[in-house]
Each structure stands twice: as C-alpha cells, then as structure tokens.
Chain A
C-alpha cells in the first residue's frame, strides 16, 4: 500500500497533466492538421473529404482581395511592431531617469492595455470619423481647411488601424522595456559614466544590447497580436472602406462563415500559419541559439 502510494506520488504530476496534454494535442494540433487537409479538398458549405490537390490555393492566389489582405498584414505588422517598440523604448528610457510620481505616469501609459481591442476600435472610430471627431472639432475651432479623412479613404485606412493599435500596445512595450532596464546592474552604468560615455552612448552602446532577450519577447508578443488582429479591424473599419483594410484573419472569417467557401478559407488559414512559421521560427532559432551558446 505504501509502495503504491509512493508510486502514485511519483507519477501524479504526469497523471494530472496528461489529460490537458492530450486535449491540447487534439484540439490544437489535431485541428491544424484537419484544416490543412480541408484546404486540399473542394469543401463548400460543408466539409468534403475528397482529395482535390492544390486547386483551392490556386483560387486563393487568384483572388485580388487576398493580395490586399497580405499587403495589409505586412504594412500593419511592420509599422505596428516598429513604432510600438520605438515609443516603448523611448518612454521606458525617459521614465528610467528617476522622475517623480513615476508610478502614476507608468500606470497612465499602461492603461490602454487594459481595454479590449473592440473598445479601442470603437473609440478611435469615433475620434477619426470626419463627421464626428477630430476633423469636426478642428472645423469648429476655426480651422476650416483642416482635413483628416484617413478612416474613410481606402488608401490610408490601414494606417488608422496602426494608430489605434500603437496607442493600445506601446505602453505595454514600455513596461517590458522598463523592467529590462531595471534589471541592468547599476555598476555597469557607473563604469560607463567613469569611462566618460554620454547618455546616448551608454544606452545605444551598452544598455540596449544587454536587453536582447527583452527585444525577443516584445517582438514575439507584438507579432502575434499583429497576425491575429481581427477584433480591432472589425470594430474600427469593419474591413472597409470596401475591403481596403482586410487582413488575413478577416478574410478567412468572411470566406468560411459568410460565403460558404470552407476550402478557400482553410487554404488562407494554412497560408497564415506558414507565414508565421516562416518568420518566427528562424528568428526564435537564431535568438535561442545565441543565448544558449
């Protein structure tokens, strides 16, 4: 009996974790495989399991709307990640200068992160709408020629999504970088000061290179926010004007659930997965190898 108890004790962690493990294996990786297979069939309203080769991919890459979605993904994630990080670093460094009421300021910058993207999208939609928000305010203030119609202009609408997303996430990037800055040893800074390095040189030459792991985690967190961005686009522009702000995620949703084109939708989902793998895996590999080696 005692032996049984000990054996149980030894195996308990495995027993407790295994259902969870099996569930995630099935529900995550199992359905990824299922989606990949569906993308190789002629599925319309209902899944159809007859193999049909790459025809759905051919159709996908003939669809102009898909190109818009892909272009938007790159424009959006490129700008969103780089601007959020730049603002985050800048704010973190400024806050790191031993300012007064730092806690209050930090909370203010971090607060947007507490909102959901739906709220952010709706609020920015009102602010950027030419008839309700900023443009109208400026007209009332007497600047009759002021014009800011990006939200309803199909060439610029994607940048309004960037603005709203940056507003929401740069405070979070700041928090991550601030934590990193606080972990830098004071001795290093003192040594740099004794060697006569100025503030600029201290940060660019010494502190920021030491924050490499923080960059890694920030990029990954922001990149996955960018790739899965769906709610923000839906709330802010609804994919419009036209389909000018469509993203791969909204494209996939609309083909699967509004148009009964499961095959094309599965193909686009698989393309999204491939894109993520193609970008994230080499980056993770190079970063992790450096830190371990």
Chain B
C-alpha cells in the first residue's frame, strides 16, 4: 500500500514537471552511499522522477565506511577529470570541494525556484559558495531528539518528559532505582559526539552552541559553560549500561523498544527503527526534544560537480530542479523518515514526530535558535570534527576531568585549524 502510494506520488511529480519542462533530456551520474532499506528506496524515488522526465540516470552507489569509500572514489574521479554529476555530500565538505574549484553552480535554477524563500536561512548558507547555490538539500534530520519508552517511564514513576538537564538527571535516577537502564547508548565516537552537542545546546543555549561548535571561538571553547557541559556528559556516562562500548545505534534503539532502557538520545533516523517494528508514535514510544529549546540541524544534500557537455549540464539542472520540487521532497522524506528541507511542503501524510519536528523548525528559525550539527558534519570541516570526536570519546571512556577536557579540546581545535 505504502509503495503504491509512493509510486503514485512519483508519477504525479513526473506529470507536474513534464508540463513545465518542454525539453528535459540529459544525463546524470549520481554518486551516493544510500544502499540500505529506506535509504535505497528514497534515492530510487529520485531516479524514477528523473527518468520520467526522459533523462538518463547512471547510478553509482558506493557503500562502505559511512561514505568513506565513496569519498575516496570521488577524489580519484575528480583527479582524473571525470567527476560525477551530483554527489551525496554535505556541510562544510561542500565548501572544501568548492575551494578546489570542482563545483558547478545551479544559481539559475535556484532563482527560478526561489530557493532563498523556502529554505531555512542557516541551511541555505551551507548550500552556497560565494553567494551561489552549488548544492541542493533533500531533507532535514533533527539531531536533538530524545526517544523514550512510556511504559518504562511509568514503571519508574517518571511522569513528565524532562525539559532541562536537571530534570533529565532526576528522571534517570528514578529509572536507575527501578532497575532500568536510564540511557541506551552505543559507544562509538559519532554517537558520543551526538550526546555532547545536544548537551552543549541544553546547557549553553543556541548562541553559545554557535560560538563554540560552529565559529570555534577559543573563549567559548574554554568557558565555564563548556566545563559544565562536560560535567553533564560525565553524568550521562553514569546512566549508560556497562556493555555500551561499540554498540550500533539501532541496537540501542531496540533497548528502548523492549523497555530495557528508558531513553535514547539520537537523531530522527531512530524513528525509522520504531516504525519498522510496527510501533506507534506517542503510544509505544515518545519523541521529545532534548533540553535547550533549539533545533540541531542535519541535512543530506546533493552537490553539483563541474561536468562538461551540454547534455550533462542540462541533466544537472533538471536534477537540481527535481530535488527541490515540493512533490519530490515529500515522497523522498516519507521514505527516509526525515522532514522536507523546504519549509513550505504540507506535512499531512507525515507522522506526529515529523510534524513536531517541522513546527519546532519554524519556531527555531523565528527565534534564531537553529544550529547546524557538529557531530554530523554540518558545522565544521572534517578535520576539526575529527578532533572533537577524538576528544569527546576519550573523555567519555576515561576519567578525564572536565577542566582537562576543555583545555585539550581548545589545543586540538587549534591544531586542526593550522592546516
């Protein structure tokens, strides 16, 4: 049924677009690493929509290492002077390639589609190089989500979802007393960093988050606020079960699902696990933002590389237009579990968590509390992010003091920026 609906939507995308585009042939080669379940289906939607326009789609999926293998292949292709048309590439990675002069801009398509008006400004900024769009976002994932098992909470006597970290600690203590693991967590560097940035948002607020984790202001990085954030992270370490080391995030989600654990702090891809197990939002599981009244943004995007030949440039433009069309954004995100990057797409078919995410996103844009995710490569270059991950995971897995952590962090960031 679901597939059927998705297909109908894809056909309607094609119908809507073929009316507007008289001549829409062209070739695109798309390099991506969406090869598993919902992701593969989502990228299949884009392929269908593109082929319905009469273009030729060459699929280059390169799985492995969370995109590392694809990046290696991309490097080789660019060096050889034969880059793919579009690459699944995000955040400051876009800027790195733009500085190498490897990207094409799609500003003409963006002007036509009025992208500036429909994208959150913080996200639009990331998609641009020197004021011109070089990439198009397909979705928005929210990173600062807290997933909870209502039954486990009830058993432990936790009546309300926490809105501050102190309330969270109180709830976690109750869970612990009831013999339930308070926080399901997997000890992998990026998961540790996800906890860390959500804590920083909750302790310091959006402005502090931006100063410390995006602008890398040395004063903010060594401030008391940062020490306090590490103190809270240390607290969270105490709420994790002894076997967390190396656990995958979806296994941690399963712990919440089974009621072995009370909470998990993870982006909204965790929702896909709940839904796939047939759980209903707000009945079998709760989604609630982590403390901090902000919105930590993660977004996948396709970046347009410098291809030659009219056929390929035409294909690139058609692809850019398709990616940003409201119809595609809806179909894709229903399959992927995220919400559309365009803020003007109606969310009637989406679940309660996605609707909440959308409402909070609009509020965050309004209040200027929308921040890009550090842990998910939206805020800082990969070299700097790597230093954050090293330090946070070393802190989480040792008895380092918060003061030492702050000092080492500032030194590590400085070192990474030297290159």
Chain A interface residues toward B at CB < 8 A: 42, 44-47, 55, 59, 62-65, 125, 129-132, 149, 151-152, 154, 237-238, 240-244, 254-255, 257-261, 263-264
Contacts and interface: CB of A to CB of B under 8 A. Distances in A.
A62 B415 contact: yes
A131 B242 contact: yes
Q: How large is the interface on B (under 10, 10 to 19, 20 to 34, 35 or more residues)?
A: 35 or more
Given A46-B79, A257-B68, A259-B386, A242 B419 contact: no
A131 B390 CA distance: 26
Given A241-B187, A260-B383, A130 B418 contact: no
B394 interface: yes
B75 interface: yes
B398 A149 contact: no
Nearest to A68: B394
A149 B71 CA distance: 36
Q: Taking each of B79, B187, B244, B419, which has the highest tally of chain A beta carbons within 10 Å of its own beta carbon? A: B419
Contacts of A149: 242
Contact of B100 (A45, A151, A254): A45
Contacts of A261: 382-383, 386, 419
Interface string B77-105: 01100000000000001001100100000
B62 to A, nearest CB: 12
Contacts of B396: 242
B96 A243 contact: no
Given A154-B398, A237-B246, A243-B390, A45 B188 contact: no
Contacts of A242: 189, 390, 393-394, 396-398
B20 interface: no
B397 A46 contact: no
A62 B411 CA distance: 9
A59 B415 contact: yes
B100 A63 contact: no
Closest 9 CB pairs of A and B: A242-B397, A131-B243, A152-B245, A259-B386, A241-B397, A242-B393, A257-B68, A242-B394, A260-B382
Interface of B: 65, 68, 71-72, 75, 78-79, 93, 96-97, 100, 187-189, 241-246, 381-383, 385-386, 390, 393-394, 396-398, 408, 412, 415, 418-419
Contacts of A244: 397
A9 B398 CA distance: 68
Contacts of B242: 130-131, 149, 152
Nearest to B100: A46
A240 B415 contact: no
B382 A240 contact: no
Given A59-B419, A240-B397, A260-B382, A46 B75 contact: yes
Contacts of B418: 55, 59
Given A46-B100, A59-B415, 10 more contacts: A46-B75, A152-B244, A241-B245, A242-B394, A242-B397, A257-B71, A257-B72, A259-B383, A259-B386, A261-B383
Best-buried of B188, B241, B394 by chain A (most CB within 10 Å): B394
Contacts of A264: 419
A257 B187 CA distance: 21
Contact of B188 (A125, A130, A238, A259): A238
Looking at chain B's contact residues, is the secondary structure mostly helix, strand, loop, or mixed?
Answer: helix
A158 B68 CA distance: 25
A261 B71 CA distance: 13
25 contacts: A44-B419, A45-B75, A46-B100, A64-B394, A64-B412, A125-B246, A131-B243, A149-B242, A152-B243, A154-B397, A240-B187, A240-B188, A240-B189, A240-B393, A240-B397, A242-B396, A243-B189, A257-B65, A257-B68, A258-B65, A260-B381, A261-B383, A261-B386, A261-B419, A263-B419
Nearest to B244: A152
Contacts of B96: 44-45, 260
A243 B393 contact: yes
A42 B419 contact: yes
A156 B396 CA distance: 16
B394 A44 contact: no
A242 B75 CA distance: 28
A212 B96 CA distance: 55
B249 to A, nearest CB: 14
Given A45-B96, A129-B243, A240-B246, A254 B386 contact: yes
A259 B72 CA distance: 11
A88 B381 CA distance: 48
A242 B394 CA distance: 5
A227 to B, nearest CB: 22
Contacts of A259: 382-383, 385-386
A261 B187 CA distance: 24
A89 B188 CA distance: 39
Given A55-B418, A238-B188, A258 B386 contact: yes
Contacts of A151: 245
Interface centre among B72, B75, B246, B393 (most CB of A within 10 A): B246
B92 to A, nearest CB: 10
B394 A63 contact: no
Contacts of A243: 189, 390, 393-394
Contact of B246 (A47, A241, A257): A241
A264 B390 CA distance: 15
Contacts of B398: 154, 242
B419 A240 contact: no
Contacts of B390: 64-65, 242-243
Contacts of A237: 246
A208 B394 CA distance: 45
A240 B386 contact: no
Nearest to B390: A65
